[in-house]
Structure 1
Amino acid sequence: MSLRRLLTTAVVATFATGGLSACTDNAPASSGATGTAGSGPLTVAASDTECRVSAESAGSGNLVFSVTNNGSKVNEFYLLGEDGLRIIGEVENIGPGLTRDLVVRAVPGSYFTACKPGMVGEGIRSAFTVTDSGADMSATGADKELIDQANAQYASYVKDQTEQLKTKTAEFIALYKAGKDDEARALYAPARVHWERIEPVAESFGDLDPKMDLREADLEPGQKWTGWHVIEKDLWPPSSGYTPLTRAERGAMAGQLMSDTGELYERTRDITFTTDQIGNGAKSLLDEVATGKVTGEEEIWSHTDLWDFQANVDGARVAWEGLRPILKKKDATLDSQIQLRMSELQKLLDQHKKGDGFVTYDTLSKAEVKQLSDAVNALSEPLSKLTAAVI
């Protein structure tokens, strides 16, 4: 997972106001996305010490923030809600000298912009206002029917995945608490795929995400470590220097994970989506692959990264397929490009299947990892244009 995210407790409010939960790289001129009315994209000059946005306000509608990292550290850019917690949109992993675009559909209101040099801390923030431009942000006729269908289908998919996650986690937790480690290890990756398929949605619940999916390498000083990866390490312990959890500690850790999973399940019962959230979520899932799974950092103890990799690709595919009827009408060429790159990536993943799962990531050669990385990058390029094409 990407763990350098700001905390939020109001994801349903984010969805209801048309905010986003992910990022996109490109905004074609035809998308109608702008900064201030008629002025083109807003520019953001990010550095290790500054976050200079070209304007303090913009009219409501489709906005583009073109973020250039002039510093020496990898940076991130966020548009946050009025409370400073709710993530409206984000663009991550902007390397020094690179420019990436964030496309958001913003309603009138008060916001904050934030850059996070080194991808840690609260970031460098400034107030930002979205005024009422009078733009009609609703769809009509046949387009509205396709949009409503895509949104309803994706909401159903998320609900189904959280239901399966709750069921599989309960089975996994029971085995772990009972000390049936071999059986628990066998179920670890299959249970987690349901989290990974909807990872951008799950991560939007910022108070739950760190408790459930925090990696040891991302712990901040004094932060309590709980969740999946604590249990992962206990099931696949290092060869030296590790003290196994006691039975009581196992019970407490398992109980916390089950409680948090139940909370995630409850919060997604009435969740709704918009096309921009779905499109940006698809791209965010590919970003997750590029920054964690393809590097082998996500499942550092179990090496089950390819299960996560496939689950992220599954989630991106479902999001894209739901938007395809809209995309084919607006940009059939882009749809064909995504289809081709998605197929190429899946063929590579299929080469590493073993039984109902995959080989462990530590068995891949450097050449095989590079092949997968190149295929992810190839898909990310057209997928990054999905949101701008459908909104």
Structure 2
Amino acid sequence: MSLTSVRVALAGVAVVCPLALAGCGGDSPPAAGGPIAVEASDEACKVARTAADAGTLTFEVTNKGSRVTEFYLYAEGDRIMGEVENIAPGLTRRLIVEVSEGGKYQTACKPGMQGNGIRGEFTVNGNSGRQVDTDAKLAEATRSYQRYVNSQADALLTKTTEFVDAVKAGKVDEAKALFPVSRTYWERIEPVAESFGDIDPKIDGREDVVEEGLEFTGFHRLEKDLWVDGLKADSPAMADRLLADVTDLVGKAKAVELTPLQLANGAKELLDEVATGKITGEEDRYSHTDLWDFKANVEGSQAAVAALRPVVQERDAALTSTLDEKFAAVNGLLERYRAGEGFKAYTELTEADIKVLAEAVDALGEPVSRVAEVVAQK
């Protein structure tokens, strides 16, 4: 099975949502206050309602196009309130998001998972109480996760500084060694980073972003310099830009106020990152350090779920046990590919290895996708 085939196979299975939980496949118009149906195609993004009252909103997104798509709800300044990725043709996924403040928002479908998306205006009316204001356990969950984000953000800044210093000093071997280490802290908290508009493509955009009219900067530009092209005259300047963008991110990440549903959605988004990038070898295509990122995404997902664990345990103890089992299975598989303090090059894995990893991520993604449902219960 080729890498592309693995990606398609995983996309075709992992995004299926349980009928009993998510009501997949329902095409009838939702009742007022119920799930908001979204019909995504290659050319359109039809949202059944373009206004809702503040509170917990549920979008039920069906992909009727020919390409894998994503769905987003944006606040002002392209701040991401919530997203669902990796929606294969013919399948449905839910986005459950808490929007406590009224105002103007935007919905967006992204056929092919590229570009700014097919956008539409969406209005939220009134204001509502936040989950963290009425549920002590959910409030503690967000505080606990924020402490985790802060610790990872600090480490990201420290290690990125070391990486940048090595690049600027022309120490290629040292920079190569620091590249996957510094990215570990980025990958653990990437959903938080993605919520701040264009910071993500600046720091983590692959060369493909050029097709979207963006400049190729950040970690992957320097990765190509180090492993393929050799350091260039502008590599030091690119390194400085990376450090400036990471510094900007760290400040914003420490100030952001997260909702419990953002934690739950972020846990699934990190597994989607594995399914759409790491499992194919596309992410770190020059260095082949994908397994470092793979492990970090899983660790970040597990940290978000761990913060919510007291709530999930109280409301669905069986789900907690399943999550523990599936996380352990993925982590156990990854340990097979250890090399010293890191991991083997992704190119050393066989197609059979990749298939087993893909199936384990699929098996983990299903219960993680149910955490938002549990957190949204009243």
Fold-level similarity (TM above 0.5): yes
Identity %: 48
TM-score calculated relative to the size of structure 1: 0.85
| 3-state SS in 2 of match to 1:100 | strand
| Structure 1 unpaired stretches of 5+ | 1-22
Structure 1 residue 345: deviation in Å? 0.7
Name which of structure 1's ranges 179-188 and 292-301 shifts more when overlaid on structure 2.
179-188
Indicate the SS of the match to 2:234.
helix
What's 2:91 paired with? 98
Given the superposition, is the C-alpha separation of residues 269 and 137 from structure 1 closer, same or farther in structure 2, using an over 3 Å criterion?
A: closer
Partner of 1:115: 109
Structure-2 separation of matches of 1:252 and 1:216 = 18
Following TM superposition, by how much is the alpha carbon of 1:61 offset from its aligned partner in structure 2, in angstroms?
2.2
Corresponding residue for residue 358 of structure 2: 373
Structure 1 match to 2:149: 158
Stretch deviating more after TM superposition (296-305 or 262-271): 262-271
Q: Does 1:245 align with 2:231?
A: yes
Change in 2 beyond 3 A, CA 1:328/1:159: same
**Alignment partner of 2:333 out of 348, 356, 365:** 348
Q: 1:124 offset after TM fit, Å?
A: 2.4
SS of residue in 1 equivalent to 2:122 = strand
Q: 1:206-252 deviations in whole A, cap 9, x for unaligned?
A: 23221111111332265321111111111111xxxx4x333x41221
Equivalenced residue count is 356
TM norm structure 2: 0.87
Per the alignment, do residues 216 and 353 of structure 1 end up closer, same or farther by CA in structure 2, a change over 3 Å counting? same
- What's the counterpart of residue 59 of structure 2? 65
Distance 1:67-1:251 versus aligned 2 partners, 3 A rule:
same
Matched letter for residue 209 of structure 1: D
Q: Gaps (5+ residues) in structure 2?
A: 1-14, 24-28
Task: Say if 2:132 and 2:260, in contact at 8 Å, map to a contact too.
Answer: no
Residue matched to 2:280 = 295
Tell me, what secondary structure is at the counterpart of 2:66? coil
Map of 2:160 onto structure 1: 169
1:45 is the counterpart of 2:39: yes
Asked if structure 2 preserves the Cα contact closer than 8 Å seen for 1:26 and 1:100, the reply is: no
In 1, Cα distance between equivalents of 2:149 and 2:132: 23
1:327 aligned to 2:312?
Answer: yes
Superposed CA deviations along residues 10-60 of structure 1, whole A, max 9, x for unmatched, are xxxxxxxxxxxxx995696599xxx97765322111112222222222233
Q: 1:303 to 1:60 in 2, by over 3 A?
A: same
Cα distance in structure 1, aligned partners of 2:103 and 2:327: 37
Q: Structure 1: which amino acid aligns with 2:114?
A: V
- Determine helix, strand or coil for the equivalent of 2:105: strand
Label 1:140 to 1:189 Cα distance change in 2 as closer, same or farther (>3 A): closer
* Moved beyond 6 Å, runs of 4+: none
Inter-partner Cα distance in structure 2 for 1:372 and 1:312: 14
Aligned partner of residue 256 in structure 1, secondary structure:
helix
Among 71, 77, 83, the residue aligned to 1:77:
71
- In the other structure, the counterpart of 2:198 is 207
Code of the aligned partner of 2:332: K
Moved more, 372-381 or 62-71: 62-71
Q: Once the two structures are superposed, what CA deviation does each residue of 1:264-307 show, in whole Å capped at 9, x if it has no partner?
A: 22222323222111111111110111111111100001100000
Change (3 A) 1:172 1:64: same
Residue 299 of structure 2 aligns with which residue?
A: 314
Distance 1:62 1:77, change over 3 A: same
In the TM superposition, what whole-angstrom CA distance separates every residue of 1:129-184 from its partner, at most 9, and x where no partner exists? Answer: 2234x86544677xx33222211111111111111111111111222221221121
Aligned-pair distance for 1:93? Answer: 2.1
Cα pair 1:212 1:260 within 8 Å, conserved: yes
Indicate how the Cα distance of structure 1 residues 41 and 222 shifts in structure 2: closer, same or farther if over 3 A, else same: closer
In the alignment, the residues of structure 2 paired with residue 192 and residue 140 of structure 1 have an alpha-carbon distance, to the nearest angstrom, of 34
SS at match of 2:367: helix
Name the counterpart of 1:360.
345
Q: Quick one: distance in 2 between partners of 1:192 and 1:121?
A: 24
8 Å Cα contact 2:59/2:95 also seen in 1:
yes
